[in-house]
Amino acid sequence: MKKLTCFVFLLFFGIAQSQNKGFAYNPSNPDSVEIYISKITTNRIKAFDTSHQKKAKEILEERKKSFLKSIKDSSFIFDKSIDKYLQNILTEIYRSNPQIDTKDFYFIISKSLVPNAACYGNGIFTVNLGLFNLAESDDEIAFVMCHELSHYILKHNDKSLQDYIQTFNSKETKQKINNATNIKYGRRAAVASLLKDLKFNFMKYNRAAEMQADSLGLVLFNKTKYSKEASVSMLKKLDSCDEMIFNSQTNLKQNFSFTEYPFKETWIQQEEKLFDTDQSVNDLALDKDSLKTHPDIPFRIENILKNQKLNASNLTKDGLESIKKRISENSIQIYSDNYKLDIVLYQLLSLHEKKLIDDQTFNTAITSLLRKVYVLKETHVFGKYVDPVNAFSEEKRLNEIRLFLGNLELKNIRKIGLYFCQKNEVASKEDTLFQDNFAFFKKLNQN
């Protein structure tokens, strides 16, 4: 397995190398980051009442350990251009709101392409790459930053943790847990019901906290130079982003159909029985609305419009387009590093369709991916690198790619790899990695 992993790394290293713009996954000074996180964790523990300090220390030390592990596991990126772009926006927010104490703030960029940002309550904030992709202006990014800063100012994380400790340490909760675990029959259902009730109560608090962060966030945001309309436009984007993710054209059939070996519809067909799971659908739909952490976004938008008049003004786009371009260029590398082959193929096809990746890079990346899929299937570990089709998601394009990769047999991959190389040989004749992949598929088809 170790040899296979090394092979996989070498195979995709060529893609990142051809871009020559890869993100750094390690901070320039790891020791200083660890010292900083340890310091703010200690300070946060001291802020709790002595009666809660022991439990708070246990939870916060575990969170610190998990966060440091995430850095070591390359969950975050360290990029000067993105850091500078975000810092320019934050500087405007701080200048307009000098009352904010920023001395312990640390903003770190997550490589996740899901649009999101988070406040950890200890001065650490994360901003996902996906948020930059979703936004269309600096103004929209600024609104999200004001919202997250408001969570910190209002101490929502501390209050949530304190409520959690108080609830689970209370005699009433301990008695309920004890009663549920001592039931002879139906114990699992009783414990699940209790945990669901507790979760619902915490979710209600979180939803109230989101509304508070919206309110204070608007106060901070309205003092800046940014367009007030961005508060609503960004929320509308977040409301519809589930439909926007993994929904670009990929032209799977066009890219993998050849005169000598036409595309087969069976490659993207799903067995009906896997979708005939009414019970599972009902389970997933159970109390869907009542367990949302965030309030419905249309309600939040209505609340914003009720409390302020939006005046149209010019949007600011200082460098956002270059940040988006940089993310697009490296999105393939991000998912390759995570061995998410389904998402890698989606990104390759989508970027090529939008002409955001040149033909030579595309051809080499596709042949490398097909070669990798062949090796993984041949060694029976393919399932570790491609997620199964999600019958309950709206990810139509991504599900189609998962079906395609999952349904292909070794004999299919051998032929597709060969004919793809033949079709694109002229355009990639100077690329040594492409030629190496071509030789690989030629040899497979000689047997």
In this predicted model, what pLDDT tens digit does every residue of 205-214 receive, in sequence order?
467 788 888 8
User: Domain for residue 433, yes or no?
Assistant: no
Q: Is residue 419 part of a domain?
A: no
Average confidence (pLDDT) over 125-149 = 93
> 263 pLDDT exceeds 90?
yes
Q: DSSP string spanning 81-123? A: HHHHHHHHHHHHHHHH-TTS--TT-EEEEE---S--EEE-SSS
Q: What tokens appear for 4 in the block? A: 């296979």
- Are 158 and 47 within 8 A, CB to CB? yes
Which of 3-12, 41-50, 226-235, 373-382 shows the lowest mean pLDDT across its residues? 3-12
Sort strands 124-128 and 106-110 into parallel, antiparallel or unpaired: parallel
Residue range 250-273: mean pLDDT, rounded: 87
- Cα–Cα distance between 370 and 120 in angstroms, integer? 40
Least confident among 76-80, 153-157, 238-242, 248-252: 238-242
DSSP 24: B
Q: How large is the average pLDDT for residues 389-401?
A: 72
Picking from 29-38, 325-334, 378-387, 400-409, which range would have the lowest pLDDT averaged per residue?
325-334
What pLDDT score was predicted for residue 385?
A: 81
Average pLDDT rounded to a whole number, residues 360-368? 93
Nearest 10 degrees: Cα torsion 42, 79, 140, 220? 40
Give the tens place of pLDDT for each residue, 109-130. 998 877 889 888 888 999 999 8
- Strand ranges in 259-364 using DSSP code E only, listed in sequence order: none
Q: What is the mean pLDDT of residues 226-232?
A: 89
Position 37 in a domain: yes
Which residues, 6 or more positions from 333, have their beta carbon under 8 angstroms from its beta carbon?
15, 16, 19, 22, 23
Averaged confidence pLDDT in the chain: 79
pLDDT at 391 over 60: no
What single letter denotes the amino acid at residue 286?
L
Q: How confident is the model at residue 166 (pLDDT cuts 50, 70, 90)?
A: confident
What is the rounded distance in angstroms from the CA atom of residue 80 to the CA atom of residue 163?
38
320 C-beta neighbours (distance < 10 Å), count: 21
pLDDT of residue 19: 40
Q: Where are the alpha helices (DSSP H) in 99-229?
A: 129-134, 138-153, 156-169, 171-181, 187-222
Q: Could you tell me if 390 and 270 are in contact, meaning their C-beta atoms sit under 8 angstroms apart?
A: no
Query: What per-residue confidence (pLDDT) applies to 156?
Result: 84
**Please, what is the angle between helix 156-169 and helix 138-153, to 10°?**
40
Question: Has residue 421 been placed in a domain?
Answer: no
170's CB contacts (< 8 A; 6+ apart) are none
**What are 282-330's pLDDT values in tens digits?**
332 333 333 344 556 777 777 777 766 666 567 777 789 889 888 877 8
> Which residues, other chains included, contact 335 with Cβ-Cβ below 8 Å and sequence gap of 6+?
343, 344, 347
pLDDT at 394 over 60: no
pLDDT for 284: 29
CA separation (Å) from 12 to 19, 111, 281, 333?
12, 18, 37, 8
Radius of gyration (C-alpha) of the chain in whole angstroms:
25
Beta carbons within 10 angstroms of residue 245's beta carbon: 19
Tell me whether residue 153 is in a domain: yes
Percent of the chain predicted with pLDDT > 70: 76
Q: What residues contact residue 315 under an 8 Å CB cut-off, 6+ apart?
A: 136, 137, 138, 139, 227, 230
Number of separate domains in the chain: 1
Of 334, 424, 372, the residue nearest 10 (C-alpha): 372
Domain that holds residue 175: 23-243+282-307
**373 lies in a domain?**
no
pLDDT classification of 159: cutoffs 50, 70, 90: confident
pLDDT attached to residue 6:
36
Residue 242, pLDDT score: 54
In a domain, 342, yes or no: no
Q: How far apart, in Å, are the Cα atoms of 174 and each of 171, 179, 431?
A: 5, 9, 66
Question: Rounded distance, CA 106 to CA 122, Å?
Answer: 9
Q: What is the pLDDT of residue 2?
A: 34
pLDDT reported for residue 386: 83
Q: Looking at the predicted structure, is the pLDDT value of residue 61 above 80? A: yes
Q: Is residue 68 part of a domain?
A: yes
Torsion angle of C-alpha atoms 206, 211, 215, 220, degrees rounded to 10: 40
